[in-house]
Amino acid sequence: MAINPPFRAEIVGSFLRPPVIKELRGKLAEGQISREDLRKIEDQQIREVVALQESIGLKVATDGEYRRATYSENFTTQGLSGVSAEYVGGGDWAYSDGKGGKRTARIPVVNGKIRYSGSSNATDFAFLKGCVTTAMPKITLPGPCYIHYRSGRDNISRDVYPNLADFWSDLAAAYHAELAALHAAGCRYVQLDETSIAKLGDPKIQNALKARGDDWRELLEVYTDAMNAIVDGAPKDMHVGMHLCRGNQAGHWQAEGGYDAVAERLFRKVRVSTYFLEYDSPRAGSFEPMKALPDDKIIVLGVVSTKVATVETADFVRTRLKEAAAYVPLERLCLSPQCGFASSVPGNPLTEKEQREKLELIVAIARETWADA
């Protein structure tokens, strides 16, 4: 574990977007600058965020997802044909901050055959790889399930896909092409951000799915099958991890509830060896479902929140780690934030200073807990 992923101190992916990138994205939208102008600044800022990660002592680094407007953009809307630009929706899929605040959700529409049209991720990864000096570069991709989870059958054309099995097959083929392109660019560490499966344990989500004609239990089988189809097509020397969360948009979330309802299928059926689990608040439930984890798999505990500014204490993290170790031994645990710091451009409600302090805390606790950290 000292050389190969996952690492004792991990990250999920996105970092708070620097103000200059947010400003220039606005200028690009208004036609005031070119995409090349923006990319030069992104290059500079990515070098800096990689240096930040390495200076903190992380053995893994991402590009902060600085080139993306959302966690899924560079693959779903740029790398796939057949999927339209996402439009704004709400209702049962809206994001909440727990205080009455709401943010609308995006709903993808499948209106043509899904084919891999080439994304910028391989090129972006090659740049990231050239920036690292001591850390292993990692790239994140959206998991395959969220298109169906958010769209439902009504937003997947029946003319194009009268049989949903063909939709899933075409989607898997597109992922395989993306993973092959990343592998050719030198990528050996990919994280799939699975934002649907953990939400299936929320009664509100279960009822919303039922109202549109979906049984969450059946979707659990379909979605875990879809994950396996992606993982089975990855190059053999590429480590594929799976991150789960319940929504992360400017400090808001979409679902609540523990892993109890999905644990058996999630841990025993899905053919990944590393799970990044959101565990930063009571919304995630207890650690007890982790007892279903097979002995050859690892959990990266996301007990440090990216949704709030308050920096956790070392004692809090130590206590959470001890509680988790009652179900999975320490040698099969790691630490990370519960999600990215900014899965979309607005980012979560914390500062760059607080972002750094949270990562420094994770590294410090990892070093005192594990000899190979």
> Is the pLDDT reported for residue 226 higher than 90?
yes
Q: Given this model, what pLDDT does residue 253 score? A: 46
Residue 11, both tokens: 């990250």
User: Looking at residues 205-219, what average pLDDT do you find?
Assistant: 94
Instruction: Please report whether residue 13 resides in a domain.
Output: no
Instruction: Please report whether residue 2 resides in a domain.
Output: no
Q: Which residues contact 156 (CB under 8 A, 6 or more apart)?
A: 110, 147, 148, 164, 167
Instruction: Please report whether residue 1 resides in a domain.
Output: no
Instruction: Please report whether residue 12 resides in a domain.
Output: no
Q: Given this model, what pLDDT does residue 100 score? A: 54
Q: What is the pTM of this model?
A: 0.93
Q: Given this model, what pLDDT does residue 89 score? A: 54
Q: Which residue has the tokens 């990215």?
A: 340
Q: Which residue has the tokens 């200059």?
A: 20
Q: Given this model, what pLDDT does residue 21 score? A: 95
H/E stretch holding 111: strand 110-116
Task: Report whether 61 contacts 136 (CB < 8 A).
Answer: yes
Percent of the chain with pLDDT over 90: 81
Least confident window among 46-50, 55-59, 194-198, 243-247: 243-247
Domain extent at residue 211: 19-369
User: Looking at residues 205-227, what average pLDDT do you find?
Assistant: 95
Instruction: Please report whether residue 11 resides in a domain.
Output: no
Task: Report whether 336 contacts 12 (CB < 8 A).
Answer: yes
Instruction: Please report whether residue 297 resides in a domain.
Output: yes
Query: What would the 3-class secondary structure string for 301-319 be?
Result: EEEECCCCCCCCCHHHHHH
pLDDT digits (tens, 9 = 90+) for 95-145: 444 555 555 567 889 999 999 999 999 999 999 999 999 999 999 999 999
Beta bridge pairs of residue 105:
89
> Is the pLDDT reported for residue 371 higher than 90?
yes
Q: How confident is the model at residue 74 (pLDDT cuts 50, 70, 90)?
A: confident
The count of domains in the chain is 1
Q: Given this model, what pLDDT does residue 106 score? A: 74
Question: How deeply is 373 buried, as exposed, middle or buried, from its count of CB atoms within 10 A (0-12, 13-18, 19+)?
Answer: buried
> Domain holding 87: CATH number?
3.20.20.210
Instruction: Please report whether residue 6 resides in a domain.
Output: no
pLDDT digits (tens, 9 = 90+) for 233-281: 999 999 999 999 886 555 454 667 889 999 999 999 999 999 999 999 8
State the amino acid at position 232 in one-letter form. Answer: D
DSSP type of residue 85 = P
Higher-scoring residue by pLDDT: 80, 97: 80
SS3 for 100? coil
Residues in the chain: 373
Q: Given this model, what pLDDT does residue 114 score? A: 97
> Is the pLDDT reported for residue 189 higher than 70?
yes
Least confident window among 12-26, 301-315, 334-348: 334-348
Q: How confident is the model at residue 2 (pLDDT cuts 50, 70, 90)?
A: very low
Q: How confident is the model at residue 282 (pLDDT cuts 50, 70, 90)?
A: confident
Q: Given this model, what pLDDT does residue 104 score? A: 59
Instruction: Please report whether residue 9 resides in a domain.
Output: no
